[in-house]
């Protein structure tokens, strides 16, 4: 008769099969990052159609919020209820995300989609830095990843004098920082609110913030071509789908593994920028992008992020 201890040891060392819920989480993560990868491309197409950043951000987010409310009305009415504490948390996170969205689309109007996508990939480092400020330890690997990212930014922004819009670069780095703070705030919301319900109210709050920012400009909506409006509507649709897929993944998966989905988003953006917008990066800029990707891959082995993974859902995404 086999020794029970040996059986337990064998079972513990045996590679576990993915559960149905985990497989669903993986599929949701892939779908979320695929839809997110379209954001800079559709944003550029909307700009070509005459839209300006605040108009794009306002209508895109309004469309996404309306679509999510419609989905709740049809399928998830019982999940609309939320506590006052949870609602306040969602409004706070949505406000931060809305402000970051304005930074993102203003920057995107000044940079090409490829470079914007690569700079936006810095958000995980901001998460770690914010957690360090809150008392989490800063590991040697985190410092190495920070150095790789800084070198990547240097190569990515190295161009001939006058060719690079430094305001656009600064705004995109600030957008990534805002998103990092948004992730850190999200830990308190998800502790009290189901993920799908949080999606609904965070998106609604975000729409309110960017809509108010557009109204405060006190300017009529600029003439936008049918192609521009199509891009805005598609951007709203991909935003809604990416949010729903992302929060579905949050219910099924957690930890560092899902945070690597950001690589898929980056890959989708770069391929689409090449195919649809005809964008090209120099050899030095590709080298800078490669350093940023290496920094993202090293996330999986970073003890600093492992300490935080139980609290901060790195799968949360915004454009």
Q: pLDDT tens, 298-313?
A: 766 666 555 444 444 4
Count CB neighbours of 246 within 10 A.
25
Q: Which of 57-66, 172-181, 218-227, 279-288 has the highest mean pLDDT?
A: 57-66
| 277 pLDDT more than 60 | yes
Q: Which of 63-67, 75-79, 87-91, 178-182 has the highest mean pLDDT?
A: 63-67
pLDDT value of residue 256: 42
Q: Are 37 and 319 in contact (CB under 8 A)?
A: no
- Which range (5-14, 149-158, 168-177, 198-207) has the least confidence? 5-14
Count CB neighbours of 240 within 10 A.
24
pLDDT value of residue 177: 85
Q: Are 95 and 209 in contact (CB under 8 A)?
A: yes
For the whole model, what pTM was predicted?
Answer: 0.78
Q: Dihedral of the CA atoms 183, 118, 252, 79 (nearest 10)?
A: 60
- Which range (60-69, 266-275, 308-317) has the least confidence? 308-317
Higher pLDDT: 132 or 78? It is 78
Q: pLDDT tens, 216-271?
A: 988 888 999 999 999 999 999 999 998 887 766 655 554 344 445 566 677 788 88
pLDDT value of residue 305: 53
Distance CA 44, CA 107 (A): 11
Question: What does the pLDDT average to over 19-29?
Answer: 70
Q: pLDDT tens, 97-130?
A: 899 899 999 999 998 888 888 788 777 677 667 7
For the chain, give the mean pLDDT: 77
Burial of 93 (0-12, 13-18, 19+ CB in 10 A): buried
Distance CA 164, CA 95 (A): 30
Distances, alpha carbon 299 to alpha carbons 145, 172, 258, in Å: 8, 21, 11
Angle at 260 between CA 268 and CA 185, to 5 degrees: 105
């Amino acid at each position: 008769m086999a020794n029970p201890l040996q059986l337990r040891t064998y079972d513990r060392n045996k590679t576990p099969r993915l559960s149905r819920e985990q497989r669903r989480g993986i599929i949701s993560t892939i779908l979320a990052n695929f839809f997110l990868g379209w954001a800079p491309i559709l944003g550029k197409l909307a700009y070509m159609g005459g839209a300006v950043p605040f108009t794009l951000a306002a209508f895109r987010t309004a469309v996404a919020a309306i679509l999510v409310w419609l989905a709740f009305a049809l399928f998830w009415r019982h999940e609309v209820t939320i506590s006052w504490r949870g609602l306040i948390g969602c409004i706070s996170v949505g406000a931060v995300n809305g402000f970051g969205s304005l930074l993102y689309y203003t920057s995107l109007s000044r940079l090409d989609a490829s470079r914007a996508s690569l700079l936006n990939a810095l958000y995980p480092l901001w998460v770690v830095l914010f957690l360090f400020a809150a008392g989490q330890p800063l590991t040697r690997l985190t410092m190495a990843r920070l150095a790789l990212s800084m070198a990547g930014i240097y190569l990515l922004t190295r161009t001939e004098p006058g060719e690079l819009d430094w305001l656009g670069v600064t705004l995109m780095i600030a957008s990534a920082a805002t998103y990092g703070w948004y992730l850190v705030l999200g830990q308190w919301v998800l502790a009290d609110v189901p993920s799908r319900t949080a999606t609904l109210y965070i998106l609604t709050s975000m729409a309110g913030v960017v809509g108010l920012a557009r109204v405060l400009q006190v300017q009529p909506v600029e003439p936008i071509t049918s192609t521009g409006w199509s891009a805005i509507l598609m951007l709203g649709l991909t935003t809604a789908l990416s949010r729903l897929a992302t929060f579905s993944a949050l219910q099924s998966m957690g930890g560092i593994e899902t945070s690597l989905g950001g690589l898929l988003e980056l890959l989708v953006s770069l391929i689409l920028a090449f195919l649809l917008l005809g964008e090209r990066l120099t050899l030095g800029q590709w080298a800078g992008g490669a350093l940023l990707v290496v920094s993202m891959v090293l996330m999986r082995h970073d003890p600093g992020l492992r300490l935080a993974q139980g609290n901060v859902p790195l799968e949360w995404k915004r454009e």
